[in-house]
Amino acid sequence: MIKDLWYKNAVIYNLSVGTFMDANGDGIGDFQGLQRRLDYLQGLGVTCLWLGPFQPSPMRDHGYDVADYYNVDPRYGTLGDFVEFSHACKQRGIRLIIDLVVNHTSDQHPWFQAARKDAESPYRDWYVWSDKKPDDADQGVVFPGVQKTTWSWDKEARAYYFHRFYEFQPDLNTANPEVQAELLKVMGFWIELGVSGFRMDAVPFVIATKGPDVKKPKEQFDMLRTFREFVQWRCGDAVLLAEANVLPTVDQEYFGDDGDRMQMVFNFQVNQTLFYALATADTRPLAKALDVTRVPRPSTNQWGLFLRNHDELDLGRLTEAQRKRVFDTFGPDKDMQLYDRGIRRRLAPMLRGDRRWLELAYSLLFTLPGTPVLRYGDEIGMGDDLSLPERECARTPMQWSDEPQGGFTKADDPVHPVISGGAYGYERINAAHQRREPSSLLNWTERIIRMRKECPEIGWGDFQVLPTGSNAVLAIRYDWRNNSVLVVHNLDDRPHEVALAVDGQGESPRLVNLLAEDHNDPEEDGRHRLVLEPYGYRWYRLGGLDYLLRRTEGPVGGAKRS
């Protein structure tokens, strides 16, 4: 079962095809270019790729305005190129999940075009219409400051249509059984082409009731079970990873009490409190978030963990005071902030390029409960281009070398400007340089990924936050199959000494350092005393390195993880 539930101990790498590697020299990344970089990703230790939207699109929202669910945008190649790419992933043992953007379509999609032209069209009910503009049309906008309404007038249809996002992205009427059936066809199509699952975009909006009379949307959670059953009928180990930025009290609804809905959900609560902890060296809200999101759930479910992704760093779940502290530390200029709730920068410039701080953040990513998701370019510490609008600033091309355009393309005019000059320009920050430097961030990341995959306790085990006597130090012990792993992090810029009562499972109380040679034995009182340097971190195994011989092979299927 461990092999079947591959996502429990996976390392997921998120990228956009158009900004990763251009093979044909037109300035836009493509599937042929991405396929040529698979050996790089395999060497990094990636076990699963998550691709952003690549279907045909007017590209008014980075491809999230899909105009055809059954094809590849010509910018990126052909369906044949995609199949060759998915086959190459399979050859290397790399899984593939893709974005499933089904809350809305582009207004250029043939479905919407047919719906707006004829009130009697069968596609009319595939979208959400109103004869008059609802009174609450200015409520519930997703992009404050950019988006003014969720209902817009369509001259051709002579009616208002609902769009939770931009006006060029009309919402699908997902409660319509015909729409649901079509969405299953979309999933089945890509599964047949080698996809191992989907990252479902904006899931709370997908399952919410929609209409001019809906004042308080109600989530239709049974829809998630329908999606889950279908993908597993088609491919037994396929997964659904939900983007659901919801309160912890609702998390369990997305997993399902019996684990029969989403296998994975992104943990936004932990993500936001993690950045508060990094900004303040106060781990208490983070420890609380870990506690409230450890809802008892079947062992088949898993959290998805991330630091930065393709969107802004959303801080909407923090208190106003907490959000201000994070803004002041990581995005003090108004130009660095977005939608009155988030920060649009990449991780490295947010952490001021401080290698110690970056290592600490990545160490936390790989050791908090769940499956780590890494954004392309973060393994080399790429920066951002704040001259680009909204979230585009963190979506610049991958920096492969110090050759023109960072080795991304032979074209003089790439899809986005490659970052050049300064601390984060491709001349200084690129994969080729870092591959040749043993102590580089890239090689450090490769080593930490290798060690994370050798610690399935983090992905599979139960965890306990241990008291450290310091608000700046977070200690977590994982227990699984007669083995224990301890991870300790000092989030402060000054050293701290802590004493830990570790307990756990092991033949001896010795803590074996997995990343260095400074192992630790308990003192007479049985407690382990550790001195952590500024931004210091430790990964320990309890007992000796014979842990593989002591690992039990007990049943894992029905147990609840609490």
Distance of CA 174 to the CA centre of its chain: 24
281 in Cβ contact with 275 (< 8 Å)? no
Catalytic residue among 30, 61, 81, 243: 243
As a whole number of angstroms, the distance between CA 299 and CA 559 comes to 6
Mean pLDDT value across residues 369-377: 97
pTM: 0.95
- Residue-level pLDDT at 562: 37
DSSP 398: P
pLDDT band at 560 (very low <50, low <70, confident <90, very high): very low
* Cα–Cα distance measured from residue 399 to residue 484, given in angstroms and rounded to the nearest whole number: 39
Q: Would the pLDDT of 556 be above 80?
A: no
CA dihedral in degrees (475, 479, 480, 483; nearest 10)?
Answer: 100
The catalytic residue among 73, 201, 282, 457 is: 201
Mean pLDDT, residues 471-500: 97
Q: Confirm whether 251 is a catalytic residue.
A: no
Rounded to an integer, the average pLDDT of 490-498 is 98
What tens digit of pLDDT does each residue of 82-101 get? Answer: 999 999 999 999 999 999 99
Rounded Cα distance, 20 and 66, in Å = 20
Mean pLDDT of the chain: 94
pLDDT in tens, 145-203: 889 999 999 999 999 999 999 999 999 999 999 999 999 999 999 999 999 999 999 99
Query: Does 243 qualify as catalytic in the annotation?
Result: yes
- Categorize the per-residue pLDDT at 4 as very low, low, confident or very high, splitting at 50, 70 and 90: confident
Residue whose C-alpha is closest to residue 51's, from 91, 89, 25: 89
pLDDT band at 555 (very low <50, low <70, confident <90, very high): low
pLDDT-derived band at 215 (thresholds 50, 70, 90) equals confident
Q: Are strands 264-266 and 302-306 parallel, antiparallel or unpaired?
A: parallel
Alpha helices by DSSP H, 261-354: 268-280, 284-292, 320-330, 347-350
453, two tokens? 């995959």
**Residue 472: which of 497, 502, 445 has the closest Cα?**
497
Q: Is pLDDT at 557 greater than 50 in this prediction?
A: no
**How many Cβ atoms are within 10 Å of 58's Cβ, its own excluded?**
15
Residue 193 CB neighbour total at 10 angstroms: 16
Tokens of 335: 């130009």
Residue 1, pLDDT score: 52
Position 559 pLDDT exceeds 70: no
Summarised one tens digit per residue, pLDDT across range 384-420 is: 999 999 899 999 999 999 999 999 999 999 999 999 9
Q: Residue 133 corresponds to which tokens in the numbers above?
A: 């503009």
Mean pLDDT along residues 98-114: 98
Token digits of residue 271: 């993500």
The amino acid present at 394, given as its one-letter code, is A
The CA distance from 199 to 207, in Å, is 15
